[in-house]
Amino acid sequence: MTSVLLARREFLRRSLLAGGTATVAGSRMPQASAVAPGPVRVLCWSERTEPTEVYPEGISGAIARHLDTLPEVTVRTASIQDPDQGLAPSVLDATDVLVWWGHKKHKDVLLDRVADVVSRVRGGQLGFIGLHSAHWSKMFKSILECTGNLGGWRHGAGPEHMKVVAPSHPIARGISDFTIPETEMYNEPFDVPPPEKVVLFSYWATGEQFRSGCTWTVGKGRVFYFRPGHETDPVYFHKEPLQVVANAVQWCAHRT
Ligand code: ZN
């Protein structure tokens, strides 16, 4: 190899490291930082205890169907029945954001899979979105190091009025205040670390209130909790909750 070639390679290396544009022999090299990222790779996970008359494909499937219509996302689903509970290292290697719903099988989720997810979130390789009863999941509690306890809850609580309290946050993009017709109520206090941002806040006519859309940064990873999603209410067939999750996917993947 000639010294001219070596010098040229070193010039290219230094230029790319500096984020600059190197021009050699009339050809322009792309900036290292200008390489367009591919679609966000999402894994929608559910334990699949949702009633099939409400969610024939699970909450995971309902959300995946919406995300699959978006060009900037690729999506797969997984459940606790899959090999390695749908969380094999090779699957997580190909996942940018994990969307998690569970209720009755929290205790069955394997600790080594929890540890792997927590490590990836802290390392910034994986974003995490916890939905509704995921507040008591091993994943959520381990990532945020909290109990996730609630001040109370009640089935058949009627409409949930959701207010956008951080309208400039990327997760609120295109979202105005909205109402979900039938919900299970959660009440404060919600035992979590202080959120980085409360994006959405819920209240019911009976007086209860809840921080329903919260963000945290854990290590290098981004985490979002979204309250709606009781399995007997068809929440994830409504436009606004699906839009919130789609926005949160982009935010948790560090794209917004
Ligand atoms: Zn519930």
The pLDDT tens digits of the residues spanning 68-120 come to 999 999 999 999 999 999 999 999 999 999 999 999 999 999 999 999 999 99
pLDDT the model gives residue 82: 98
DSSP bridge pairs for 133: none
Residue 12 has pLDDT above 50, yes or no: no
Q: How far is the centre of ligand 1, averaged over its atoms, from the C-alpha of 93 (Å)?
A: 30
Lowest mean pLDDT among 2-16, 32-46, 146-160, 171-185: 2-16
Cα 133 to ligand 1 centre (Å): 5
Q: How far is the CA of 38 from the centre of ligand 1 (A)?
A: 34
Q: Which residues of 37-69 are buried (b: 16+ CB within 10 A; e: fewer)?
A: eeebbbbbbbbbebeeebbebbbbbbbbbbbee
Judge whether 47 and 105 are in contact, CB under 8 Å: yes
Q: Which residue has the tokens 């109520």?
A: 185
> Residue 26 Cα, ligand 1 centroid: separation in angstroms?
62
The dihedrals phi and psi of 224, each to the nearest 5 degrees, come to -130, 135
Distance 158 CA to ligand 1 centre (A): 13
Sign of torsion, CA 106 143 74 72?
A: positive
Torsion sign over Cα 231, 120, 254, 188? positive
pLDDT tens-place string over residues 226-236: 999 999 999 99
| Distance (Å) from CA 227 to ligand 1 centroid | 9
Residue 34 confidence (pLDDT): 66
How many whole angstroms from its chain centre is CA 26? 44
pTM listed for this prediction: 0.86
User: What is the Å distance from ligand 1's center to 220 Cα?
Assistant: 30
Instruction: Quote the ligand 1 centre to 185 CA distance (angstroms).
Output: 8
Instruction: Give CA angle at 243 (239, 245), nearest 5°.
Output: 125
Q: Could you give the dihedral angle defined by the CA atoms of residues 236, 251, 70 and 129, in that order, rounded to the nearest 10 degrees? A: -30
Question: How much distance in Å is there from the Cα of 14 to the middle of ligand 1?
Answer: 54
Tokens of 107: 């205790």
Helix and strand counts by DSSP (H, E) for the chain: 6, 11
**Does residue 33 surpass a pLDDT of 70?**
no
CATH of 3-252, one of 3.40.50.880, 1.10.238.10, 3.30.70.420, 3.40.50.10740: 3.40.50.880
Residue 28 CA, ligand 1 centroid: distance in Å = 56
